[in-house]
Chains A and B, each alone.
Chain A
Amino acid sequence: MRVVWDGEEVEAREGQTVAGVLTGLGVRSWRTTRGSGRPRGLFCGIGTCFDCLVKVNGVPDVRACQRVVADGDDIRPQSGAELPS
């Protein structure tokens, strides 16, 4: 299957999480913090820390480590606190 990461189509496999796809691509950070705009990415990997938030199909605050990708998902980095688009 294919998903879109930050505007570019990339290959993904059944069962992969967003964090799995991005880590495989060598992407380390996909979010900035609300306060000082610091880069963040995967941290706890099991859904506890909420550091790996990402935007999926226009919906922000999705945990990349928990979200299993679906064909055609539009995945974008998240900056600070975002509202759904």
Chain B
Amino acid sequence: MNRIVVVGAGPAGLAAATAAAALGVEVVLVDAAPKLGGQFFRQDALARGDRFTLPFQVEHVPNATVWAVEPVAGGHRVHLRIGAADDPSRTGRVLETRALVLATGAFDRALPFPGWDLPGVFTAGAAQAMAKGQGVAVGDRVLVGGTGPFLLPVAASLAAAGARVVAVAEANAPVSAWLSDPAGAAAGGRRIPELARYAGLLARHRVPYRRRTAVVEAHGSRQVEAVTLARLDREWAPVPGSERRVEVDAVAVGFGFTPQLELAVAARCRIEGGFVAVDAAQGTSVPGVFAAGELTGIGGAELAASEGAVAGAAAAKRLGAVVEPPLGAMARVRAGRRFAAALAAAFPVRSGWTGWLREDTVVCRCEEVDLRRLRAAVEERDVGGVRPLKLASGAGLGLCQGRVCGRNAAVLAGLGDTAFARRRIASPVRLGELAAAEPEVESADPPWSAAAERGFGQDFG
């Protein structure tokens, strides 16, 4: 079978699958969720049917976890577990492909603060997923905090799900930052009116939007009962005397996003500045592996879909389809990246957050490693890299494998913040599943096209 495998059915993966199918290529679209759309187009899980339809050339494999990607001669082998999440009854499937499109997206970055491990503190993405996907608000009185335009739709979804949004605390002062780069902001296309619509919605719900403000502590014994909100200076140090206590039963925080890199790392794609490096055809440094969406840089759904369309066409070309360069999508990618750069400049994570922590503040939630233990590991054991830091402190060794704490622990330890993504097993599988008989490999048809064996050379032309 000569087919493309696309991992992730968000905006990028959907566009890649659709573009490749339009060129007559068969596609297997693998996704963790029961329905299409990913985090951005999260569908109401309680409603019947799927609001997306795919061309007949696309086989959608829902409820599937890719737990390993293995380079083999001429392509890659993709290992799946399919079925009820984390259940031992999941079945295996192994697909070989000569053209793999990774569209695995990103997850919220959460910064630690005293009390952030209390039940009732959520990521902004969790609040959004519960409101949009499950029709339930994570609390009755919710404070939304962090940085970035994503906080607005989260607050709007919470209000729509019946929560009282006490405030949106934006740690940056984005309006002035925006104005400093009008060209980048103008490249945002539909995003600007979309944000204006959210701002209008929040105004109608009388939700205050507080700039240079952050949740610096959550209070409660068994769950959140209140938070301390503080004004921040330019570098995000709390302004002394500005702290005030706000009664809430939930907090949703998000400080931008971290790309879900493990499959790209497993496929040995080059990573630059924390993201997968790609050429103009979304080809990675590894022949036959393409990347699209937040993996290549945080830029939102519109850019992800444009990148997906390019990646799908490039992957189809690799399988021998006759492909005209998708010039329109490629131009939209370039404009989208300008907007993404302006966005990143307007909503950075400033260094002052490290001052929000106390010695006993948990940094690694899984292994319950606090700041004191992390610092002791750095000072007494002289750790100079992420691996020794993990072994000496325990941070990042738990079930999430450093996805939540990795960047933060690395910053606190004075190391680069992107080295935590190396994970041999991309998603936990049970020992019984590993021990079970390996399913038959669904092979890709040989012979491989020798002409295509060059990384980054997969541009059209």
Interface residues of A (CB under 8 A from B): 13-17, 19-20, 23-24, 28-29, 33-36, 38-51, 53, 56, 59, 61-63, 65-68, 70, 84
Q: Does B134 contact A (CB under 8 A)?
A: yes
Chain B residues with CB under 8 Å of A29's CB are 119, 222-223
Q: When the two chains form their complex, are residues A65 and B84 in contact, meaning their CB atoms are under 8 A apart?
A: no
Q: When the two chains form their complex, are residues A13 and B46 in contact, meaning their CB atoms are under 8 A apart?
A: yes
Chain A residues with CB under 8 Å of B181's CB are none
Q: Does B366 contact A (CB under 8 A)?
A: yes
Q: When the two chains form their complex, are residues A16 and B46 in contact, meaning their CB atoms are under 8 A apart?
A: yes
Chain A residues with CB under 8 Å of B119's CB are 28-29, 39-42
Q: When the two chains form their complex, are residues B403 and A17 in contact, meaning their CB atoms are under 8 A apart?
A: no
Chain A residues with CB under 8 Å of B428's CB are 50, 61
* A14 vs chain B, min Cβ distance (A): 7
CA distance A77 to B18 in the complex (A): 42
* A64 vs chain B, min Cβ distance (A): 9
Chain B residues with CB under 8 Å of A39's CB are 118-119, 222-223
Which 8 residue pairs of A and B lie closest in terms of their CB atoms, listed nearest first? A45-B126, A20-B134, A66-B85, A50-B399, A15-B45, A29-B119, A41-B119, A28-B119
Q: When the two chains form their complex, are residues B130 and A19 in contact, meaning their CB atoms are under 8 A apart?
A: yes
Q: When the two chains form their complex, are residues A50 and B136 in contact, meaning their CB atoms are under 8 A apart?
A: no
Known: A44-B107, A46-B107. A23 touches B130 (CB 8 A): yes
Q: When the two chains form their complex, are residues A44 and B130 in contact, meaning their CB atoms are under 8 A apart?
A: no
Q: When the two chains form their complex, are residues B85 and A44 in contact, meaning their CB atoms are under 8 A apart?
A: no
Nearest A residue to B369, CB-CB: A35
Count of B residues near A, CB < 8 Å? 46
Chain B residues with CB under 8 Å of A84's CB are 88
Q: Does B129 contact A (CB under 8 A)?
A: yes
Given contacts A38-B368, A39-B119, A44-B126, list 20 more A-B pairs with CB under 8 A. A15-B47, A17-B134, A19-B134, A20-B135, A29-B223, A33-B368, A42-B122, A43-B110, A43-B365, A44-B123, A45-B122, A46-B125, A46-B126, A48-B260, A50-B398, A56-B87, A61-B399, A65-B129, A66-B86, A67-B84
Q: Does B302 contact A (CB under 8 A)?
A: no
Chain A to chain B contacts (Cβ below 8 Å), 9 pairs: A15-B44, A15-B46, A23-B138, A40-B119, A42-B122, A44-B122, A48-B403, A59-B87, A62-B87
Known: A20-B130, A42-B138. A67 touches B85 (CB 8 A): yes
Q: When the two chains form their complex, are residues B223 and A28 in contact, meaning their CB atoms are under 8 A apart?
A: yes
Q: Which listed residue (B39, B45, B47, B85) contacts A63, Cβ 8 A?
A: B85
Which residues of B (110-139) have their CB < 8 Å from a CB of A?
110, 117-123, 125-130, 133-136, 138
CA distance A44 to B253 in the complex (A): 10
Nearest B residue to A60, CB-CB: B86
